[in-house]
Homo-oligomer: A and B are copies of this chain.
C-alpha cells in the first residue's frame, strides 16, 4: 500500500467515523454531485422514510391546537420542523434551497394533564403547551427534475399522521393537497420562513 493510499484510507475511516458519531450519516440518503444528501426513492416512485431526522437542524415548532380551531385543526399538534444538514449548510451560504433539499415535520401531541378550553395545561412554568407524544412524520423534497410538475419542484409526503411506528415509504401527495397553502402563504420558495427565526438568522449570516 503506498503512502498516498494509506492516507486516503485513513481519511475515509476518520470521515465515516465522525459522521457516524455525529448522527449525520444517513444510511439511505443519496449524495448529489453538489454534496446535498437527498432522499432515496424506490422504483414505484415512493420515497423512503428519512433516517435520523431528529438530529437534523431544528428550525421551528408551529402549534395549532384543536381547542383553538373548533376541533378541526388539520395538524392539531406541535409541528417540529427539521432541515437536513447539508441543505441547511447550502442555505446558510446562498440563501436558497438547493436541489435535493429535505425538510421533515414531526407532529407531536400536546402534553395531556389538566388541559383547559384553549388546549393548555397548567404546569410549574405556567399555563401553556408542552410536547406529549409523537403523532406523525412528514417530509418535503425539492427536486425540480423528478417533480417537474410540482410548484417549485417541492413534493410532500406523509409516513402516517399517527403514533409510531411510521410507514417506511410514502408516495407524493397531489400538488393541490399541500402546495396550495405553501404557495399562498409561505414567505420564501414555498417555505414559511416567517415562522422560522432559525432560517432567517441563517440567511442573515450570508
Proximity string of chain A (5-45) to chain B, C-beta cutoff 8 Å, 1 when within and 0 when not? 01100110011001101111000000000000000000000
Proximity string of chain A (166-206) to chain B, C-beta cutoff 8 Å, 1 when within and 0 when not? 00000000000000010011000000101111100100000
Closest to A66 in B: B126
Within 8 Å of chain B (Cβ to Cβ): is A62?
Answer: yes
Within 8 Å of chain B (Cβ to Cβ): is A152?
Answer: no
Contact of A68 among B10, B60, B63, B118 (CB under 8 A): B118
Closest to A10 in B: B7
Proximity string of chain A (93-125) to chain B, C-beta cutoff 8 Å, 1 when within and 0 when not? 000000000000000100100000010100111
Q: How far is the CB of A112 from chain B (nearest CB, A)?
A: 10
Within 8 Å of chain B (Cβ to Cβ): is A61?
Answer: yes
With contacts A14-B15, A23-B85, A134-B201 taken as known, whether A128 is within 8 angstroms of B64 at the C-beta atoms is yes
SS class of chain A's interface: helix, strand, loop or mixed? mixed
Within 8 Å of chain B (Cβ to Cβ): is A57?
Answer: yes
Contact of A65 among B15, B85, B128 (CB under 8 A): B128
Closest to A78 in B: B61
List A residues at the B interface (Cβ < 8 Å): 3, 6-7, 10-11, 14-15, 18-19, 21-24, 54-55, 57-58, 60-65, 68-69, 73-75, 78, 80, 82, 85, 89, 108, 111, 118, 120, 123-134, 181, 184-185, 192, 194-198, 201
